């Protein structure tokens, strides 16, 4: 699989780190395009996260509209915006494509490929909900960064892992996950 990971300036860089760690070690993943929004690196640093490195990762500037994720002919299989700001959700829902993140998301929608927004905001306003509805109607998946507690997590890594595992499941990747009733 070829997967695009867009990291926006929403709080929750731990989700991006955990996802990149999983993608780096997955035998099912061939390439990962990594795109940071203009303020994402500052939030990542503020939250004390360090993103993993991998030969699979190809980083693109968010202003690079000639990068392969901007074109449907590049055949990226899926895209995850993690964490996703509601501003990014709103711009994509409105069809605005002024950055590579927005254009790549637009490409996923028009090509009918998997697009997942790990929205990290609370509470939601009516505008946020309408934008998420528009994206869902267009074929995207809204996967709020809402952890579960069934597995009785013992630390923040385990709490956040419940969200990351849902993302990898939505991507169709195999791997160990908590299953209710086991």
Give the whole-number percent of the chain exceeding pLDDT 70: 98
**139-156: pLDDT as tens digits:** 999 999 999 998 899 999
Give residue 181's pLDDT: 64
CB atoms within 10 A of CB 35: 25
Gap between the Cα atoms of 182 and 167, Å rounded: 20
Give me 10's structure tokens.
């929403």
Task: Take residue 130 and report the two structure tokens written for it.
Answer: 């309408």
Please provide residue 2's backbone torsions phi and psi, each rounded to the nearest 5 degrees. -115, 120
Q: Which residues pair with 78 in a beta bridge?
A: 3, 114
Mean pLDDT of the chain: 96
- 85-138 pLDDT, tens digit per residue, is 999 999 999 999 999 999 999 999 999 999 999 999 999 999 999 999 999 999
Alpha-helical segments (H) within the chain: 13-25, 40-46, 86-93, 100-110, 126-138, 156-171
- What integer pLDDT is reported at residue 175 of this predicted model? 82
């Amino acid at each position: 699989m070829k997967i695009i990971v867009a990291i926006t300036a929403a709080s929750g860089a731990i989700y991006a780190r955990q996802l990149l760690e999983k993608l780096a070690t997955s035998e099912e993943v061939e390439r990962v395009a990594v795109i940071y929004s203009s303020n994402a690196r500052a939030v990542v640093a503020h939250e004390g996260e360090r993103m993993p490195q991998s030969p699979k990762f190809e980083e693109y500037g968010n202003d690079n509209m000639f990068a392969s994720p901007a074109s449907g002919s590049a055949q990226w299989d899926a895209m995850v915006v993690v964490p996703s700001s509601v501003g990014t959700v709103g711009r994509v829902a409105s069809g605005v494509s002024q950055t590579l993140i927005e254009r790549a998301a637009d490409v996923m929608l028009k090509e009918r490929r998997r697009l997942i927004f790990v929205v990290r905001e609370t509470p939601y306003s009516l505008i946020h909900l309408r934008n998420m509805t528009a994206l869902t109607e267009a074929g995207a998946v809204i996967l709020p960064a809402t952890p579960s507690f069934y597995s009785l997590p013992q630390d923040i890594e385990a709490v956040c892992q419940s969200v990351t595992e849902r993302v990898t499941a939505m991507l169709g990747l195999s791997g160990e996950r908590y299953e209710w009733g086991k």
